[in-house]
Structures are given as structure tokens and as C-alpha cells.
Amino acid sequence: MGQAPEPFRAVGLYCDAPAEARASADGANWTSWMAGHSHQAGDGTLLWFETPQRYLEVSRPCQVLFVEPGPSPKRPSPVRRADDGLAVVSRQDWGCTPASCPAAAPPSYTNVTHLAVHHSAGANEASDWAAVVRSIWILHVRGNGWNDIGYNYLIDPDGVLYEGRAGGDGVLGAHFSGVNTGTMGVCLLGTFSNQAVTPKALATLQALLTAKARRWGLDAGGRSPHAASGLELNVISGHRDAGLSPRATSTTECPGNGLYAVLPQLRRQVHAALAGECAVQVGRPYRCASASGDEVEFRLLVPPGCPVEVSGAPAWIISVTGDDVLRLRVEANAAAARRNGVLRVNGQTLTVVQGASNEGPLACAETVASAAGFDDRPVVPGGLMSVLGSGLSDAVTVNGRAVSVLYASDSQINAVLPPATPIGSARVVVGNGPERLFSVTEVVPGILGVVYEGSRLQVWLTGLRPGAVLTANLGTVESVQASMPGVWVADIALADEPAQHLVVTGAGVASLPFPIQ
């Protein structure tokens, strides 16, 4: 136990391993223990205590920064900006004036290609969120030694948007594990490792990402190369996605399971908002072609009466558009290297990989999905994954290691994702095909099947981890047990008036609705 020289409402912890801390105003009455969630090596984690404290106890030796953000002069009011329509609390209004937040160096700028989503790994409740934002500034500048707060924007649980790092659009932040160039970072205040984000915060996040994707002409629903990390990342990525890069300074669980698992839905919503009434949906935006030339088809979902506009195709790809099919004629490749063709259809990015002249047809992994529902949310270590594509074989590796294949055909592979697979971006390769990146997270419940037993349900699930705590909309989950590799069985006692669909929720993430007969 240590006594601070002055009262504090937050602390920054710098620990070599996970730690917990609690605080007291009088040395007798203590707060509950709070876990520190470090973002990356060398960075502090902020613990918020709401009321002034004088004593601190930490579960292991750590360096401590005592933080008192000072009083907020008034409740900050967002001001709607003319250039992007966003209502934003300025730095001055959340208490970061040139006098209180002196600039250590002039801002640097970057050409933004990717939008990175974070959580603060701090308090989920506070009476003064502006004070929390000031505390993060103190942590980043006085604790971490950075020039300014690391994020470009921050969002509180009430959906209020705060201006972050000074300098305006394109200013280079410090938030993406050392591969920050090309990114804009937005942080949702709170910890979402085991709970969902508030609807108000998600609505503001969607509005911000839509405005910035429009500002930089980004395909919010697609992927593109990120030069700093050397990875092909989702344009809207989570902080943890940087960890696959050998250039990254560390790995992290940020932005938490409850936020990371909803990023696919967020990408669809932002893409639709940008494209308007004529947004085109493409389930599998990747295809492969042989070196001898090929005809490739993309199935499109086009709203009635909408045109299909194709742009950016390289000279060796010729497009022929049908009502709901985009047909591409791919010319022969005489070179000894593969080539990638990238084009856009109504703003959505599509990719064609063509084999080299000295190799046969490619095993084309077009997408990786959960084996329950084949939806585009992340898959889970130890859970069932499905690889969908063409010309597939049972030779499958994830991050360079072979996986256990349960079923293989020309168009689908079912396999168990190795339990030790790190969360974040992962690479899958099938046979001689090109690598595809997909997302891995801690818990995404997926319902494989349901059996009635009187007033009870037995539910077969994937996408869980040992010890996962589940809830269900139809009743009470009384037990969850492992059944076979990648599969769990939950026993649910039904309520008196069950709904028409079963939804199971774990770690802040809900399953897709499963119809109940």
C-alpha cells in the first residue's frame, strides 16, 4: 500500500505482467479490485476511480503514475462541423487548451488508408467523461512520453464524440502498435472484453467512420494494402489486427471481443451509407484465375433499378456486366509471377489473383467463416471454421501451421482452428493458393443445431472457449460442456413463453437468431 502525495482520481499502471489495483480515500475503505488491460509493451493502462483517492494498492510491483485531471469547467457540448457534419467536442471544450496541453512537437501528417478502432480498456461508467479524456491525455503525454494523446478521436458511452490529437484530418497518431502511418484511430471509452458497446456509441462510431471513409475515398467494406504493417487489412480494422505484422511493436486484445466481433456489421453499414440506395453486395470479393486465361464470375446483389458501374480494372481484365453477375474475362499470363487485379463495383473492391505461367490452377480460398451460419464475423480459436472457395484441397495452414481438417471438397473445407491461434488477423493458405487474411476473436457464439427435450433445449454451439458464460433469450443456460473438437453443448431450461428464435450471448456477442420450430 502506498500513499499519493496529492489526491488522485485515476492512475496509470506500467507493469511487466497483468496486475490489479484498488484505491482508498482514507486507508480503511477500499474500492473493488480493478484489472489493468495494457494495450502494448511500454504503454500504461488507465484505471479510473471517479472520486478522489489518497492510497493505492497494486497486486504486483508496477510503476505508477498518479493522475488528477482537475475540474471540468462545464459540461462540454458537441459542435456540428460544416465540413463533415459531425458533432464534436473540441479539445478546448474538453479541457485541453494550449496552456494546459502544451504541444511537445508540431503535428505530422499521413495519407489515411485505414481506420483503426480501439477501446480505452478503462472505466465503463463515469460522471465526467471529459475528465476521463483529460486523464488519457496525461497518461499518454506524461506517462508514455508521447507528443499528444494517441487517438484522433474518442467516443464516450453516451455517444459523445471528442476531438483527439491536435492537427485536424490526417494528423499521424500513436495507436496502432508502432505501424501508425496510413491510419486514423478512434477510441471507444470503456472496456469491451466481455460486454457489448452501447448503441449510442456504435451510432456515433458509424457516423464518424462514414464521414472519414467519404473524406478519403475508402472502400469501407473492403480490404487494401497497409504499407506500414505490410499486411492487407480491412479498411476498418481493430487495433489487434496490427499484431500479425513482424513490424508491429506488440500484440493486444484491443478493441475487446464485444467490439471486435461487430466490426463486420459496422463495415457493411458504413459501405451501405456511402453507396446509398445502389449499394452492391458481393459475398465473396476474391476470385482466382489460371495462367492460361479464364472467365471469372462475381455474384452481385443489386437493388432494383440500380446500374452497375465497374472502375479501376487493369488492362488484362475485361468486364462484362449482367443483371446480377459480373463476368470478367482474364487474359493469359505469360510471366513467371502471379498477378493481382483490383477493381471496384459501385465502390466495393474486388480482387482477382491469376496464377503464374509455370503453375497449374490455384486453390482459391475466397472466404473464411464460422461453420455455424457461414456469417462474416470472426472465428474463434478451437472453434469450427469453414473455408469457402474453388479448387480446394485438404492441405490447409493457418499462420504457417497445418490445421485439423474434418471435411474437404472442391468448394468447402471444415476444420478446427488451432486453439493457440492468436486473436486478431490470421493467414490461411489452401494448397498452392494465395493467402487470405481473416479475423480471430475470443468468443462468437454460433448455433449448429437444437434438440427439444420436453421443457429443455440441448443446443450445439461453436465459437466458444472454456469457461465461457452464456445467456439465452429463451430461458436459463444451466450448463455448457465440450462435446467434440470445436463443438459445445449447452443445456437450456425454457421459459414459459419462448420466442420464435433462439439467441445465445457470450462475452458481449450474440449469435445469429436460430429458428425454433
Residue 10 structural domain:
2-67
Which has more confidence, 420 or 319? 420
pLDDT for residue 41 is more than 70: no
Give 59: exposed, middle or buried? Use CB within 10 Å, 0-12, 13-18, 19+. middle
Largest CA distance in the chain: 78
pLDDT band for position 321 (cuts 50, 70, 90): low
Q: Which of 440, 461, 476 is the last residue of a domain?
A: 440
Residue-wise pLDDT for 128-181, tens only, equals 999 999 999 999 999 999 999 999 999 999 999 999 999 999 999 999 999 999
DSSP 50-91: EEEEEEEEESS--EEEEE-----SS----EE-TTT--EEE-T
Q: What is the pLDDT of residue 72?
A: 87
Task: Write the Ramachandran bin of 290: left for phi over 0, alpha for psi from -120 to 50, otherwise beta.
Answer: beta
Domain assignment present for 463: yes
Q: Kindly state whether residues 88 and 197 are assigned to the same domain.
A: yes
CATH number of the domain enclosing 85? 3.40.80.10
For residues 179 and 299, state if they share a domain.
Answer: no
**Is 308 in the same domain as 392?**
no
Residue 500 Cα distances to 248, 433, 446, 475, angstroms: 46, 42, 17, 13
Question: Do 370 and 464 have their domain in common?
Answer: no
- If pLDDT is split at 50, 70 and 90, which confidence band does 435 have? very high
Show which of 336, 354, 372 is a domain's final residue: 354
- Indicate the pLDDT class of residue 42, thresholds 50, 70 and 90: low
* Total domains in the fold of the chain: 5
Q: Which three cell numbers stand for residue 458?
A: 440441448
Residue-wise pLDDT for 108-121, tens only, equals 999 999 999 999 99
Average pLDDT on 274-298 reads: 90
Q: Is residue 72 part of a domain?
A: no
Cβ-based neighbours of 517, under 8 Å, separated by 6 or more: none
Give yes or no: residues 345 and 369 share one domain. Answer: no
Among candidate residues 41, 67, 93, the one where a domain is terminated: 67
Q: How far apart are CA 460 and CA 509, in angstroms?
A: 17
User: What is the structure's pLDDT at 434?
Assistant: 95
264 and 172 belong to one structural domain: yes
Does 421 reside within a domain?
yes
Question: What is the pLDDT averaged over residues 404-428?
Answer: 96
Do 378 and 259 reside in the same domain of the chain? no
User: Residue range 382-391: average pLDDT?
Assistant: 96
Q: For residue 299, give the 3-state DSSP assignment.
A: strand
Residue 173, SS3 per DSSP: coil
| Same domain, residue pair 435 and 452 | no
Is 491 within a domain?
yes
Q: Is residue 74 part of a domain?
A: no
Q: Is residue 359 part of a domain?
A: no
CATH number at residue 386: 2.60.40.10
Chain-centroid distance, C-alpha 21 = 28
Asked if 492 and 401 sit in the same domain, the reply is no
List, for residues 469-483, the tens digit of each pLDDT value: 999 999 999 999 999
pLDDT per position as a tens digit, 361-384: 999 999 999 999 888 899 999 999
**344 with 484, same domain?**
no
